[in-house]
Amino acid sequence: MNIFIREMNANVKSLIIWCISMITMIGSGMGKFVGFSKSGESINDIIDIYPKSLLNILGISKFDLSTAIGFYGVLFLYLVLIASVHSVMMGSNIISKEEIDKTTEFLLVKPISRNNVITSKLLACLLNIIILNIVTLIASLVALNYFNENYAFLRNVLMLMLGMFCLQLIFMCIGSLLASILKNTKSASSISTGVILLTFIIYMITNMHDNLENLKYFTPFKYFEAELIILENSINPIFIILSFIIIGISLVGTYVFYKKRDLKV
């Protein structure tokens, strides 16, 4: 069976679960916006009670939460976090799964190079994250359109999804790189998830203190912030360049280390 098709079939159930999770997150998140709107209380007045440092950590200090797009901007951080975890786990698991499942011989007996194996696996990963991204896009547009505001949110949402896709690619490639390097295949997924946690902590620390702003280059979560995209309607080109550099280095590293790897049979 073609490796690409085999990997897609193997990940159908998990992809469906992740898609349902994203839809549920968007539905429940925007449902809270409806609850606040109908309560008669100003969301912004309620939020102002909390310390500014806390609001900065949560990424909600500059959004107008009385609007659907502003509320969605806050929700977007958690959508990105879910998508990033999915991507890094996909990248790491799809590389190491044969060694974990003891099915390495299935690949080794086939007349196919390791480069072709890794390419097929990464293409399957790519299609999975594209599907999750499209599902998130559709769910987001449906949720925002439900409120029928006089706000042209389409461009903002498309830019946000483009940013999320870049983050998905970054963490997918980091996950595949770590799985190719690490000798203990079972730890690849947990270490990859640890990278997500570490970069997210750096993101929060950067938001807490203005004098730590330079740390933003070390956390991809700062590259495509909803705050910058929605309020300034732009993406910093430096972060786009950094994203391509990280993706490129991780991809090259994945091929190099996987080719040299002693696969456990």
Question: At CA 253, angle to CA 250 and CA 257, rounded to 5?
Answer: 140
Evaluate whether residue 65 is within a structural domain.
Answer: yes
Dist. CA 256–CA 249, nearest whole Å? 10
pLDDT tens by residue, 112-147: 777 888 898 999 999 999 999 999 999 999 988 887
Dist. CA 82–CA 136, nearest whole Å? 11
Lowest pLDDT segment from 61-70, 135-144, 240-249: 61-70
pLDDT value at residue 99: 65
pLDDT band for 82, please (50, 70, 90 cuts).
Answer: very high
What's the half-sphere exposure (Cβ side, CA atoms, 13 Å) at 196? 26
Lowest pLDDT segment from 9-18, 56-65, 128-137: 56-65
pLDDT tens by residue, 155-175: 889 999 999 999 999 999 999
**C-alpha distances out from residue 140 to 26, 89, 217, Å:** 7, 24, 28
Evaluate whether residue 265 is within a structural domain.
Answer: no
For the question of whether the overall pTM of this predicted structure is more than 0.95, the answer is no
**C-alpha distances out from residue 250 to 117, 169, 216, 219, 254, Å:** 17, 10, 20, 15, 6
**H or E segment to which residue 84 belongs:** helix 68-101
Evaluate whether residue 84 is within a structural domain.
Answer: yes
- Tell me, rounded to whole angstroms, the distance of Cα 149 from its chain centroid: 28
pLDDT above 90: percentage of residues in the chain: 42
How many structural domains are present in the chain? 1
Evaluate whether residue 180 is within a structural domain.
Answer: yes
Evaluate whether residue 161 is within a structural domain.
Answer: yes
Dist. CA 163–CA 171, nearest whole Å? 13
Lowest pLDDT segment from 103-107, 184-188, 232-236: 103-107
Evaluate whether residue 43 is within a structural domain.
Answer: yes
Give the domain extent around 8.
3-260
